[in-house]
Amino acid sequence: MDIIVLGLSHKTAPLELREKLHIPESDLPDALEGLGACGQILERMMLSTCNRVETYAVVDEVEGTRRFLVEYLAERNKLSPEDFESSLYLLTADHAVRHIFRVASSLDAMVVGESQILGQVKAAYGTALERDATGLILNNLMERAFRVAKRVRTETEIATSAVSVSSAAIELAKKIFGDLKGRAVMLIGAGKMSELSAKHLLAEGVGSVIVANRNITRAVELAERFSGRAVHYDAARAEMVRTDIIISSTGAPHQILSKTDLQEIILQRRNRPIFVIDIAVPRDIDPAANEIDNVYLYDLDDLQGVVQANLRERQREADRAEVLIDREVAQFTHWLESLKVIPTIIAMRRKVESIREEELERVLAKLQDLSPEERQAISLLTSSIVNKILHDPMTELKRQSALRDGHLYVSVLRRLFAIRDD
Q: So which residues are the catalytic ones?
A: 50
**What is the amino acid identity at position 145?**
A
The residues pairing with 58 across neighbouring beta strands, listed in sequence order, are 3, 43
3-state secondary structure the chain: CEEEEEEEECCCCCHHHHHHHCCCHHHHHHHHHHHCCCCCEEEEEEEECCCEEEEEEEECCHHHHHHHHHHHHHHHCCCCHHHCHHHCEEEEHHHHHHHHHHHHCCCCCCCCCCCHHHHHHHHHHHHHHHCCCCCHHHHHHHHHHHHHHHHHHHHCCCCCCCCCHHHHHHHHHHHHHCCCCCCEEEEECCCHHHHHHHHHHHHCCCCEEEEEECCHHHHHHHHHHCCCEEEEHHHHHHHHCCCCEEEECCCCCCCCECHHHHHHHHHHCCCCCEEEEECCCCCCECHHHHHCCCEEEEEHHHHHHHHHHHHHHHHHHHHHHHHHHHHHHHHHHHHHHHHHHHHHHHHHHHHHHHHHHHHHHHHHHHCCCCCHHHHHHHHHHHHHHHHHHHHHHHHHHHHHHCCCCHHHHHHHHHHHCCCCCC
- Burial of 356 by CB count in 10 Å (0-12 exposed, 13-18 middle, 19+ buried)? middle
For residue 203, count other CB atoms closer than 10 A to its CB.
11
The answer to whether 419 touches 347, Cβ cutoff 8 Å, is: yes
Residue closest to 108 by CA, chosen among 305, 269, 276, 325 = 325
Q: How far apart are CA 276 and CA 266, in angstroms?
A: 12
